[in-house]
Amino acid sequence: MSGDSLEQAGERNKRLVEMGKLNRREFIASASGAAVLAAGVQMALAKGAPLSNVEARWYKKLPNKQVKCTLCPRHCVVDDAERGYCGVRENRGGVYTTLVYGVPCAIHVDPIEKKPLYHAVPGSFAYSVATAGCNMDCDYCQNWEISQARPENTFNYSLPPKKVISEAKKTGCKWIAFTYTEPVVFAEYVYDTAKLAKTAGVKTVMITNGFINEQPMRELCKYLTAVKVDFKGFSEAFYERTCHGKLQPVLKTLKTLRSEGIWFELVNLVVPTLNDDMAQIKALSEWIVRNLGPDVPVSFTRFMPMYKLTNLPPTPVETLEKARRIGLNAGIHYAYVGNVPGNIGENTYCHACGKLLVQRIGYDVRVNRVKNGRCPFCGAKIPGIWN
């Protein structure tokens, strides 16, 4: 997943400082505020919460105490006492149960740019939660320690939906983000929290791989404010071999989001030699414009060696810049370069007049000129959530 822990972000930024990509002042600016907030958040909550025993919302009962999960396209058929592929949903005597409802293992306060969302109240903060588990297994996952773990192997907090909202408000966050691992696997928790948050006036965003069935996605859209989809690559083979998922259901999810009218952005992590073929990126960009429209922001982000893919180098910046150019040429209005602090590809430029609207360095928003959702220079409407 694209979201990483504060520690990982810190480590990454340290590496960038060493590489000369980020100066010391920028590093401190991007990390320190969130670090202080996050430390306060975690100290306030008790650790070691027991796992939940809440009946799952999306499944079917089968004969012989089997169940079939209908949450994601895997459609796991699960025997009694066994778990689905995600590792956090268990068949208990024929009742499919989520073990992670209200028991996140990661809680941080992050800038919204870290997700990354670039058209969603730039400079605001997100109270970010994740439970253990994922319904994919990407070879480069930067949060594999929790995404690929079972919840009994992580330290968990007790944080029911109401408490998420109160903590978000207490820490001054405009957003609640379901992130780091894969929110699809804790969809019941997302659903209930987003529903309460909507009433409480707190925005919610789900950072997801989009590997979810249509029905649950539509139900979640009723209450979520925004969605960010980690799009792995425009290739079925890449999805299957490198991510242990499938492409077509994700494309379907993107169309679902479009039809629901919810705000969403895309990220495409570009991995050297595996999904960095420019013809593929061109095909992806054209598909996006054709099926989702030109206003969906797309970030081409930098891969760093991680988890099972430690044998590959970080993505060359030139590759990302080229991908961004291809995206823009294909008609995407807002194509970005991600994970390269200081690159001009992090900035938002008006699609109509080309003027600089939002200047970013890493997670730090230096300038935001968008006024009431419009370009102050030409008056063009800038897609996104700005207030």
Partner 1 sequence: MSNSRRQFLRDVFSLLVTAEAALQGGCKSRSTAEEPSRQALAPARTAPPQPLRGRVVLIRDENVIDDNDEVDSTVLKQMLDRAVATLGDVNDPREVWRDYYSPDDRVGVKVSCLPGPGGGRPVCTHSALTDLVIRRLTDIGVNPGNIVIWDRSNADLIGAGYKIRQPGNQPACLGCTDTKVGYSSDIYVSRTAASCLARFLTRLCTRQVSLPVMKDHGIVGVTGALKTWLGGVHNPNKYHPSDGHAVMIADLNLLPEIRNSQGLIVCDVLNLLYYGGPSYKPRTTARYGGLLVATDPVALDRVGWKLIDEHRTANGLPLLENDPNADGMPRKPDYILTAGDREHNLGEAALDMIKLIEITA
List contacts with partner 1 (CB under 8 A): 62, 64-66, 68, 74-77, 79-87, 93, 105, 132, 137, 139, 144-146, 148-150, 152-155, 244, 307-308
Q: How far is the CB of 147 from partner 1 (least distance, A)?
A: 9
Q: How far is the CB of 82 from partner 1 (least distance, A)?
A: 7
Whether 346 and 360 have beta carbons less than 8 Å apart is answered as yes
Q: How far apart are CA 331 and CA 335, in angstroms?
A: 9
Q: How far is the CB of 3 from partner 1 (least distance, A)?
A: 15
Residue 181 has what DSSP assignment? S
Of 12 and 203, which CB lies nearer to partner 1 in the complex structure?
Answer: 12
Of 87 and 122, which CB lies nearer to partner 1 in the complex structure?
Answer: 87
Token pair 């949450």 is found at 71
Q: How far is the CB of 103 from partner 1 (least distance, A)?
A: 14
Q: How far apart are CA 11 and CA 269, in angstroms?
A: 19
Of 209 and 280, which CB lies nearer to partner 1 in the complex structure?
Answer: 209
The tally of CA atoms less than 13 A away on the side-chain side of residue 361 is 17
Q: How far apart are CA 72 and CA 127, in angstroms?
A: 25
Of 110 and 346, which CB lies nearer to partner 1 in the complex structure?
Answer: 110
Of 74 and 115, which CB lies nearer to partner 1 in the complex structure?
Answer: 74
Tell me which amino acid residue 103 is.
V
Q: How far is the CB of 76 from partner 1 (least distance, A)?
A: 6
Of 220, 294, 231, 301, nearest in space to 257 by CA: 220
Of 158 and 368, which CB lies nearer to partner 1 in the complex structure?
Answer: 158
Q: How far is the CB of 220 from partner 1 (least distance, A)?
A: 22
Query: What beta strand segments (E) does 59-167 contain?
Result: 59-61, 67-69, 77-78, 89-92, 95-98, 106-111, 125-130
- Give me the DSSP letters along 348-380: EE-TTT--EEEEEETTEEEEE--BTTB-TTT-P
Of 259 and 310, which CB lies nearer to partner 1 in the complex structure?
Answer: 310
Q: How far is the CB of 206 from partner 1 (least distance, A)?
A: 22
